A and B are shown apart, each in its own frame.
Chain A
Amino acid sequence: MAHQPSPSEATNAHYDSIQQLESIRAILFAEEQTRIRILEEHAAKLLKTDKEQGERLQARAQALQAEIDALQQESSAQTETLQARLEQLRADITAESEALIPRLTGEMSGMIRNTIRDSRDEMAEALGPVMGDAIRVQIRDSREDMIEAIYPIILSTVQRAIAEFARELQRNIDARLKTTFGPQGFLRNLTARLRGVSSSELAMRDALPFNIQELFLIQHESGLLLSHWGSEGEDDGDSDLIGGMLTAIRDFARDSFGDGSPDESLNEIQYGDEQIVIQSGKHVYLAVVATGVEPEWFRARLRSFVSELHIQHAPALRDYDGDPASLPDLPPKLAQLADELIMPKEPEPQPMGRGQKLALAGGGLLGLILIATACVYLQFTIALWPLAFGKPTATATATTTPTATATMLPTMTPLPTNTAVPTTTNTPIPTATQTPPPTATHTPIPTATDTPTVLTETAVTNAPVWVREQPDIASTASIAIPADIAVTVLTRQGDWAEIEWPGSSGLRRGWIPVQWLTFSE
């Protein structure tokens, strides 16, 4: 049977257990208690330190507050000073605004220049709207001032534009001058004159600047681009889209403003300085982007180009389905057309080949020979004419009666007294050499011709005439002398006169019929 403890024993046991527990607790928490004590000591130290720091901070704050108060007082004093200064400056500016403007302008312009150099875009962005408004207001409020201010700039710009235009015009006129003097140019000038347009007006019209920028050859129905030419050379890649849009615009215009028939179509679009001229064909149309004033032949050339294209390649143009392999070689044709449209040039003079030079030299030589032959022929013809056909006036029958006057001539010859001087030099020759022939040939009139009459008259040939060695038409003709040559008549024998005249190699002599002489009074 188990022992039952008494209450006192139980209480003692309980106290024992409590003591044991306290002992265990003391053992277990000894370290913690030590740590707590240390912490408590530390906390007490910290509290003490914080209190000291708080006191220090408070003192510092008070010092700062004092400084702030002092600074505030100082700043308010400075503000007052600055305000006074500003007021003074304002008063100065108001009083001396005109004097300040030059100084400020220099400073301001420097600042503006620097800002523009450093941040151009920002300046433009900032000033753009303000300047626009300012200009509008200025124009509204003081138009005349604005005109005066802008005039030099505008004038210079306009002058430059006009000068550029004039230079281009001059270039075009020079180029035109080279082509105007051909047969076509002459024909054009003539046609223009007939229409009441002067040559200068026509030249000016032709010389006005004109330029081709792009050519598009486009199929009517689909708007597909067949070929493109651009003055810049490289295609920017959008020409097919432009071709499509042009077709859409044409379709829209036709459907909206026309009766929808294919014959009615848009043939020109103008925008700014540029125009798109459209020349329509049956299957394709040609769109030309040009600037300037088109020459009168321009559209006719476009028509003929499109027409020729259709004549040569109609099936290919009609059946084009987007595959360029099915098309003829169109780019060179467009390039050639562009060349013609930009400046219809005469063929450039090419350096001559050897064969051409030889042919030219031969032709020249032949020409010279022909001219020389013609001269000789003419000379002979003119000289022989009177001999062959007689002098026109002399052919009249009336001259037969003057033969009586011819017989009168000997009566006029009794002027030997006048020939005293010439006879000293000339008589020996005729007397020595010329007497025999008359006796031989002119027997029918022996009385007149027995002895040649020695004369020293002066006369002038009244026509080109052959000079003969003897007073006989059958004798040899030595030379022909032209009309209006002064001669000295040495002797006469019947209708013949022996003359002397200055030749290229000295004095010459010979016989000519008297009728070709006009005697001086």
Chain B
Amino acid sequence: MKRVIQKKVCLLGDFAVGKTSLVRRFVEDRFDDRYLSTIGVKISRKPVEMADYTLNLLIWDLAGGDDFSQAGASYVRGSVAALIVCDLTRRETLDSFAYYANQMRALNPDAVLIFAGNKADLESERVIDNEALHEISLSLGGHYLDTSAKTGYQVETAFQLLAKKITV
């Protein structure tokens, strides 16, 4: 029987970028068009099978917002990784990448960062190009992927990458 190791990871990003939808797609493999703003934090669990062990990801889906409040900082403590999400149809959400990445690193210096440009299915409304995303993710020391919680595009890949980057 494989040993089970649990790790705390966070989802960060501005409001309505699709953090909760990404978690729902990853954990429950479903998507809901209705938007319900997360209050405080919602915690989900998803086991990811690795070669020698099972990684139990405890995913803290934090409420999005411009102000990374004191409570938000408390929730981030003890996380070993974060998926920082922006909305490809809203440029301002990309500008927050650096803020969340710095907050995360300030509390957890060795944290793994993965950046996700969500809503990739809305091609016609896309305002952020891959080049800008690639550039900013490199500067912040993380990896970048386009995702779509609606279609499921690269959602599993993003979390699998997160799991692989977490050192045990």
Contact = CB atoms under 8 A, between A and B. Distances in A.
Contact of B3 (A240, A321, A324): A324
Interface stretch (B72-80, B140-148, B157-165): B72-80
Nearest to B53: A323
A255 interface: yes
Q: Is the interface of A mostly helix, strand, loop or mixed?
A: helix
Nearest to B74: A251
Contacts, number: 61
B49 to A, nearest CB: 16
A252 interface: yes
Contact of A260 (B8, B41, B60, B70): B70
Nearest to B72: A255
Contacts of B79: 222
Given A248-B43, A255-B71, A325-B3, A221 B168 contact: no
Interface string A232-270: 000000001100110010011011100010000000000
Given A224-B8, A240-B45, A251 B56 contact: no
Residue of A256, A321, A322 with most partner-chain B CB within 10 A: A322
Contacts of B8: 222-224, 244, 322
Interface size range on A against B: 20 to 34
Given A248-B43, A260-B70, A323-B3, A240 B75 contact: no
Interface string B115-153: 000000000000000000000000000000000000000
Given A323-B5, A324-B3, A324-B4, A240 B74 contact: no
B118 to A, nearest CB: 24
B75 A251 contact: yes
Interface in A373-417: none
B104 to A, nearest CB: 14
Nearest to B107: A221
Nearest to B78: A222
Given A223-B8, A323-B3, A324-B3, A248 B75 contact: yes
A225 B74 contact: no
Nearest to B8: A222
Contacts of A256: 71
Contacts of A219: 78
Contacts of A252: 40, 71, 74
A248 B41 CA distance: 7
Interface string A181-219: 000000000000000000000000000000000000001
A493 B26 CA distance: 122
A119 B67 CA distance: 55
B77 A222 contact: yes
Interface in B22-78: 40-41, 43-45, 56, 58, 60, 69-71, 74-75, 77-78
A241 B44 CA distance: 7
Interface residues of B, number: 24
B71 A322 contact: no
B7 interface: yes
Nearest to A242: B43
A248 B3 CA distance: 26
B3 to A, nearest CB: 7
A197 B56 CA distance: 52
Nearest to B167: A321
B26 to A, nearest CB: 15
B67 to A, nearest CB: 13
Contacts of B3: 323-325
B6 interface: yes
Nearest to A245: B43
Contacts of A322: 5-8, 56, 80
Nearest to A237: B45
Nearest to B168: A323
B54 to A, nearest CB: 11
Residue of A224, A225, A251 with most partner-chain B CB within 10 A: A251
Contact of B71 (A225, A240, A244, A251): A251
Interface string A421-461: 00000000000000000000000000000000000000000
Contacts of A255: 69-71, 74
A504 B79 CA distance: 96
A322 B56 CA distance: 9
Nearest to A254: B74
B91 to A, nearest CB: 31
16 contacts: A219-B78, A221-B77, A223-B8, A223-B58, A224-B58, A240-B58, A241-B43, A245-B43, A248-B60, A248-B75, A251-B71, A252-B71, A322-B5, A322-B7, A322-B8, A322-B56
Interface of A: 219, 221-225, 240-241, 244-245, 248, 251-252, 254-256, 260, 321-325
Interface of B: 3-8, 40-41, 43-45, 56, 58, 60, 69-71, 74-75, 77-80, 168
Given A225-B6, A322-B7, 20 more contacts: A221-B78, A222-B77, A222-B78, A222-B79, A224-B8, A224-B58, A240-B58, A241-B43, A241-B44, A241-B45, A245-B43, A248-B41, A252-B40, A252-B71, A255-B69, A255-B71, A322-B6, A322-B56, A322-B80, A323-B3
Which 10 A-B residue pairings sit nearest by Cβ, starting from the closest? Answer: A222-B78, A251-B74, A221-B78, A322-B6, A244-B43, A255-B71, A255-B70, A222-B8, A323-B5, A248-B41
